[in-house]
Amino acid sequence: MKMMSKRKMKSEDTENTRNEGKKLKNKLLNKIPAAEKLNFEGEKGFTHAFGYRNEDAYLFMGKKSVISVFDVLIQYGAYNNAPVGWLLDLIPKGELEHGRVLFAQRQQGMEKEKESDVIEKDIETNIATISDSGEAKSAKQRAQNASRVKDMALAGYLSGIGDTVIDSDVRLIVKSKTPEDVEKTILELKKNYKHHDVKGIILVRQSGEQLEEMSSLLSNVTADAWHASDMNSVAAGRIFLPSSGFSDPQGTYVGTDISALLTNNPAIVDFTGIKNATIFMGNVAVKSSIGGREGGGMMINSGSSVAHVLSEANYLAGKRIHHIMLSEFGYRAPDSLEFDMSKESINPLEVFGSPETVQIDATANFNKAVTMMLLLGSIANEQRYAELEVELKSVLINWMIDTANNSGMYTRDPENEPNRAERILATANHENYPTPYDLLPALNTNIAKRASEGEYAREKADFLYMTMRTTFSEFPGIFHKATTLPDIYKATDRNVYYDISKLASNPQVASAIFLNVLAYVTNRALEGEQIVIHGLDSVDIPVKHLVPYRERIDRKNIGLVTVFEKSESKVNPSTYAKFTDRLSRQDAVILGGLTEPELEYINESWRRPLPNQVANILLEGNNGILYFYRKKDRVGALVDTHLIL
């Protein structure tokens, strides 16, 4: 039973009710100080400082805003039967461009005398009338009549066990800049309902009564034949907020919604279609368990737990997930293939790309290789680093063009010499691809070449050669070893792990390996697949070196999920936005503990402030509490998190 129409009960407002409504309005208006006029002629402000000017179907607030109030009617039977909280369907699931909408729901108990008449007289009369009216002409009408009889009979039964009747209605307030935008907003709302199969909604506007509608918004309930009258136990299901957040029909259990009106209300999130996401934990740990809700505990590096739960939807959709593990995390998802990058190797000079983008790929790889060499060369002085970067890149590019593999592997004119340019691309014959160690003779020759330019040029070239020789000798597994990763993954290798976490004790080494792995993975990943970077704040690489790979990710339509575990780190969603992208562009955002400065840049990156309740909870930094947000329907919730891996 969802709605009992009072049209059949022959109900109407009493004169006494109308008088009471006027008294409430006058009382409300008289309590508020006179509004500042500012050359604005209109009614006193009861929710707006400057008051309102009533113009037929609109209320004008100064010269900047227009409001229109609509009565929301629900067609009988449209939500019979429906789950608790079905009224949430009124809230649009897509963004409205031309204005804002607010819904106000009002309920009050029916007057005792009227309730007695309805239950004892009107219900029985209407049941008899429907039964005596004969067989309806259509199957639809017969079904509706049967439903009405059933609802009224149930109302009588519930009244007999002490239930009462509740009158309720819903108002829609549309706020825009102009009357035209109000109408466009209504059109957008109706299209949204149609797109999401929300049926039975009728919007009615009372022209000339807009001011009355606003002034009585918080005091009156429309009780007539067109509006809902239900038994209390039924009306309880017609509320806007049985849960403040996620209760998707199909999805993943992530914990309990701490803001829900229902005790221990589960948060069920459907992560389907989440391609890009940012997870910022802020040193917060959450409970995780494997295989079920039993057992489990607070996991270290819990952001990886969140990332696994989020990316599982892509895995179940048949796509491959590439996990770059910078932080330690022992769990491995099903159908996994793991590479221990402290033992495996990817040749830094090997260009993993495609003939169509060979020039872009080669340039990015030159920059990456130079960064890796200097990063592990421990060049601390910024000016010295900049000078050596130019020198090393020049030697490397000339060597790759003229000398590598005896006759050179690239060209100075890749557009007009595509075949020669493509020689730089990686093949299955990794053993024959030169490594950085093979560059040392060219660096040594460069000393004599620079000597003719003066002592400083010679000294710089000599320092570069000595530094690189020491670096290559210190890290032979990085700079003097062919690529060892397989060229082909099996169809069952659906969660591929590149584990760099064992190198975390040396951040410089971990950073260099990460840059190398990122270049490799962004080439290996196919359209629709997803890259998950666990613990991005465990490394420190100038973000400019990551940007080319972000561009490759976008070009290939690959998903990117980034996990930040730490609090107050200089590597964060703000400083790395050029790589991770702004929060406002993420399909999903998950936030843990925040500091005040972090809250500030989170709000800036999101292009909107977090709700005060959410911000205040996250500033406490309590373990277990995360804020989940999904962009496609703008749903968010604070969750006492329990993840099942």
| pLDDT tens column, 366-379 | 999 999 999 998 88
State how many domains the chain has: 3
pLDDT of res. 9:
37
Angle 455-474/440-451 helices, nearest 10 degrees? 170
The whole-number average pLDDT for the span 557-584 is 96
* Residue 103, pLDDT above cutoff 60: yes
Answer yes or no: do 316 and 359 share one domain.
no
Give residue 12's pLDDT band: very low, low, confident or very high (50, 70, 90).
very low
Answer yes or no: do 468 and 520 share one domain.
no
Give residue 8's pLDDT band: very low, low, confident or very high (50, 70, 90).
very low
Tokens representing 606? Answer: 């999101």
On whether residue 344 sits in a domain, the answer given is no
Give residue 240's pLDDT band: very low, low, confident or very high (50, 70, 90).
low
Answer yes or no: do 79 and 222 share one domain.
yes
Range of the domain at 35: 4-235
On whether residue 349 sits in a domain, the answer given is no
Helix (H, G, I), strand (E, B) or coil at 589: strand
Strands 559-564 and 336-340: unpaired
Element (H, E) at 626: strand 625-630
Tokens representing 174? Answer: 């549309």
pLDDT in tens, 611-644: 888 999 999 999 999 999 999 888 899 999 999 9
pLDDT of res. 16:
47
More confident residue, 6 or 312: 312
b/e for 387-409, b at 16 or more Cβ within 10 A?
bbbebbbebbbbbbbebbeeebb
Give residue 468's pLDDT band: very low, low, confident or very high (50, 70, 90).
very high
- Among 381-390, 408-417, 631-640, the range with the most confident prediction by mean pLDDT is 408-417
Q: Among 505, 596, 592, 636, which residue's Cα sits nearest to residue 279?
A: 592
pLDDT in tens, 14-36: 444 445 544 544 443 444 334 33
On whether residue 96 sits in a domain, the answer given is yes
**CB under 8 Å to 421, separation ≥6 — which residues?**
358, 359, 362, 410, 411, 414
- Are 74 and 3 in contact, with CB atoms under 8 Å apart? yes
Q: Which of 237-251, 315-329, 337-351, 536-550 has the lowest mean pLDDT?
A: 237-251
* Residue 418, pLDDT above cutoff 80: yes
DSSP per-residue string spanning 416-451 = T-HHHHGGGB--S-GGGS--GGGGHHHHHHHHHHHH
Tokens representing 173? Answer: 């307030």
Question: ∠ CA(8), CA(215), CA(28), 5° rounding?
Answer: 120
Rounded Cα distance, 290 and 294, in Å: 8
Last residue of a domain, one of 202, 235, 268: 235
For the chain, what is the mean pLDDT? Answer: 85
Answer yes or no: do 315 and 378 share one domain.
no
Handedness of CA 292, 293, 296, 298 (dihedral sign): positive
Rg of the Cα atoms in the chain: 33
* Residue 527, pLDDT above cutoff 60: yes
**Tokens 């429907």 -> residue:** 130
pLDDT of res. 29:
42
Rounded Cα distance, 115 and 155, in Å: 11
pLDDT of res. 236:
60
Cα–chain-centroid distance for residue 270? 12
On whether residue 377 sits in a domain, the answer given is yes
Answer yes or no: do 495 and 474 share one domain.
no
% of the chain with per-residue pLDDT over 90: 58
Answer yes or no: do 308 and 373 share one domain.
no
Answer yes or no: do 67 and 156 share one domain.
yes
Strands 588-591 and 277-280: parallel
Give residue 426's pLDDT band: very low, low, confident or very high (50, 70, 90).
very high
Handedness of CA 287, 290, 293, 294 (dihedral sign): negative
Answer yes or no: do 599 and 541 share one domain.
yes
The whole-number average pLDDT for the span 315-340 is 95
pLDDT in tens, 30-59: 443 343 334 445 566 555 655 666 677 888
**CB under 8 Å to 360, separation ≥6 — which residues?**
353, 548, 551, 552
Answer yes or no: do 62 and 186 share one domain.
yes
Answer yes or no: do 39 and 127 share one domain.
yes
- Are 170 and 90 in contact, with CB atoms under 8 Å apart? yes
On whether residue 244 sits in a domain, the answer given is no
Answer yes or no: do 320 and 359 share one domain.
no
The whole-number average pLDDT for the span 246-256 is 88
Answer yes or no: do 463 and 502 share one domain.
no
Last residue of a domain, one of 479, 505, 534: 479
pLDDT of res. 206:
83
pLDDT of res. 221:
85
Helix (H, G, I), strand (E, B) or coil at 510: helix
Tokens representing 2? Answer: 């969802």
On whether residue 484 sits in a domain, the answer given is no
pLDDT of res. 241:
57
Burial class (CB in 10 A: 0-12, 13-18, 19+), 4: buried
User: Phi-psi region for residue 37, left (φ > 0), alpha (ψ -120 to 50) or beta?
Assistant: alpha
How many Cβ atoms are within 10 Å of 598's Cβ, its own excluded?
Answer: 21
More confident residue, 126 or 178: 178
On whether residue 247 sits in a domain, the answer given is no
pLDDT in tens, 489-522: 999 999 999 999 999 999 999 999 999 999 999 9
Helix (H, G, I), strand (E, B) or coil at 399: helix
DSSP per-residue string spanning 331-344 = ---SSEEEEETTT-
Handedness of CA 34, 35, 39, 41 (dihedral sign): negative
* Residue 437, pLDDT above cutoff 90: yes
b/e for 316-328, b at 16 or more Cβ within 10 A?
eeebbbbbbbbbe
How many Cβ atoms are within 10 Å of 475's Cβ, its own excluded?
Answer: 19
Last residue of a domain, one of 446, 479, 512: 479
Helix (H, G, I), strand (E, B) or coil at 66: strand
Give residue 10's pLDDT band: very low, low, confident or very high (50, 70, 90).
very low
On whether residue 510 sits in a domain, the answer given is yes
